[in-house]
């Protein structure tokens, strides 16, 4: 498949800087992701507390992202990115100093608020500089910059934990957040030069929530995030406690997941500019549901890896399609508003899934937590299919210009 050519304009230069900032931020997050449940358990946390520690950040992020996404359409978008990145770096130091499960939850809440500030603003800025017809290609690259940190982050974090203890991964997370802050402050302009940022008349929320495509995206992102959250929260416990495997297995699985998802997403980003984006998203959603149902049946490293890679592959397929659809709707209703709305759906799913997984594990079994999450994901995929298919021809890009 031929990749389209891009000219390095001022907007594209800012786009590249944002890529680097998101990569740094996600590398720090990836480094602590496989450690949160283990850290909480070492501090005496039960299954419910583990779910709260893992899920607090995405749950709070989900509650606030739509608000800060709206502010990104109304206020100074760069200021919001800087506030979020600075607060994120400080929250990492708080997580480092926490000594009880309750303290971990408090700092995860603060971290979630800071991510709610920066993420919709960063994705909205990227969407504003993306030309029509290139949404799949460029936004998949932007998404991969965020995923990229999870390629080496988890395995690096677990190795540092094994060698130096729990504190070092959190300190690295803080330093990388500070570097991302400096990059954005120095090299990202106040606004996108080729966009209508600051000029568009924003649509009311009542119009947005009546849009069938928006409803489908929200349902799909929430339900699949629920499954991902159960996977992230329960996999370390499943591997270390129930299967008795060494902790670096979790870091290796998550790193290989990120490699797989990134590679497939880059390909499917270009594909999403050429085919029906809704059908592409539905295909990815369906494979993700299958992977969630199969995960509790995996009991060997090879089986765990196969299930995790199936889940990562499905995400690599549906995320470019869904992100491209979100950018389309962002041009109609306000880019920050739509990015905040869809990010809220995903974050609420992550928070809900983490808590749901912990509760089901305590009441029934860890295997049952995966199957309940699979049921939630199935319902969401059905809603996505009913609200978005068949796709109107007017919004399907069948040809990509040869250059910008």
Q: Name the residue ranges covered by the structural domains of the chain.
A: 10-190+205-394
So what's the pLDDT on residue 134? 76
So what's the pLDDT on residue 394? 40
Q: How far apart are CA 378 and CA 389, in angstroms?
A: 16
**Phi-psi region at 6: left, alpha or beta (left = phi > 0; alpha = psi -120 to 50):** beta
Cut 0.85: pTM above it = no
DSSP 4-61: PP----HHHHHHHHHHHHHHHHHHHHHHHGGGHHHHHHHTT--HHHHHHHHHHHHHHH
DSSP 261-320: HHHHHHHHHHHTTTS-HHHHHHHHHHHHHHHHHHGGG--SHHHHHHHHHHHHHHHHHHHH
So what's the pLDDT on residue 398? 35
Class of 10-190+205-394 in CATH = mainly alpha
Instruction: Please list the pLDDT of the chain residue by residue as tens digits (404 residues).
Output: 444 454 556 667 888 888 889 889 888 888 887 788 777 877 877 777 887 887 788 778 878 888 888 887 777 788 889 999 999 999 988 888 888 888 888 999 999 899 888 888 888 888 887 777 777 778 878 877 777 777 777 778 878 887 887 888 889 999 999 999 999 998 888 765 444 444 445 667 777 878 888 889 999 999 888 888 887 777 777 776 667 677 667 767 777 777 787 788 888 888 888 888 888 889 988 888 898 888 878 777 778 778 888 888 888 888 888 888 888 888 888 888 888 888 888 878 877 887 787 788 888 887 788 888 889 989 999 999 888 866 444 443 333 333 33
Terminus-to-terminus CA distance in the chain, angstroms? 18
Residues 277, 325 contacting (CB under 8 angstroms):
yes
Q: How far apart are CA 217 and CA 142, in angstroms?
A: 19
Cis bond upstream, residue 390 (ω within 30): yes
So what's the pLDDT on residue 312? 84
From the list 24, 116, 19, the residue with the least C-alpha distance to 63 is 116
So what's the pLDDT on residue 191? 63
Report CA dihedral (56, 68, 315, 147) to the nearest 10 degrees: -80
- Please tell me the number of Cα atoms within 13 Å of 325 on its side-chain side: 30
Q: How far apart are CA 76 and CA 61, in angstroms?
A: 20
So what's the pLDDT on residue 159? 83
**What DSSP designation does 393 have?**
G
| Residue 105: alpha-carbon gap to chain centroid | 20
So what's the pLDDT on residue 162? 79
């Amino acid at each position: 498949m031929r990749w389209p050519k891009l000219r390095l304009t001022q907007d594209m230069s800012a786009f590249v800087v944002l890529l680097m900032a998101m990569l740094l931020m996600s590398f720090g997050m990836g480094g602590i992701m496989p450690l949160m449940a283990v850290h909480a358990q070492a501090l005496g946390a039960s299954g419910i507390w583990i779910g709260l520690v893992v899920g607090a950040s995405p749950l709070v992020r989900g509650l606030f992202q739509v608000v800060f996404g709206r502010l990104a359409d109304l206020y100074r978008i760069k200021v919001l990115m800087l506030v979020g990145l600075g607060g994120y770096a400080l929250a990492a130091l708080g997580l480092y100093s926490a000594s009880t499960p309750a303290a971990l939850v408090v700092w995860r809440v603060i971290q979630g608020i800071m991510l709610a500030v920066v993420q919709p603003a960063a994705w909205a800025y990227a969407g504003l500089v993306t030309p029509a017809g290139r949404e799949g290609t460029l936004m998949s690259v932007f998404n991969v910059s965020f995923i990229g940190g999870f390629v080496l982050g988890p395995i690096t974090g677990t190795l540092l934990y094994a060698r130096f203890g729990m504190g070092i991964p959190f300190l690295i997370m803080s330093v990388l957040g500070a570097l991302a802050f400096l990059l954005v402050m120095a090299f990202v302009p106040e606004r996108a030069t080729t966009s209508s940022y600051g000029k568009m008349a924003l649509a009311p929320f009542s119009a947005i929530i009546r849009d069938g495509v928006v409803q489908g995206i929200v349902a799909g992102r929430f339900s699949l995030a629920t499954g991902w959250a159960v996977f992230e929260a329960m996999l370390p416990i499943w591997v270390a406690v129930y299967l008795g495997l060494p902790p670096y297995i979790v870091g290796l699985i998550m790193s290989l997941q990120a490699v797989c998802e990134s590679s497939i997403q880059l390909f499917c980003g270009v594909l999403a500019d050429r085919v029906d984006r809704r059908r592409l998203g539905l295909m990815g959603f369906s494979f993700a549901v299958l992977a969630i149902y199969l995960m509790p049946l995996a009991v060997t490293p090879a089986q765990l890896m196969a299930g995790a890679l199936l889940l990562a592959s499905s995400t690599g397929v549906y995320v470019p399609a869904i992100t491209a659809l979100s950018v389309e709707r962002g041009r109609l209703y306000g880019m920050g508003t739509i990015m905040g709305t869809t990010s809220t759906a995903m974050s609420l799913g992550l928070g809900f899934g983490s808590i749901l997984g912990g509760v089901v594990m305590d009441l029934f079994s860890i295997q049952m937590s995966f199957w309940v999450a699979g049921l939630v994901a199935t319902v969401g995929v059905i809603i996505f299919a009913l609200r978005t298919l068949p796709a109107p021809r007017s919004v399907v890009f069948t040809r990509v210009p040869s250059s910008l």
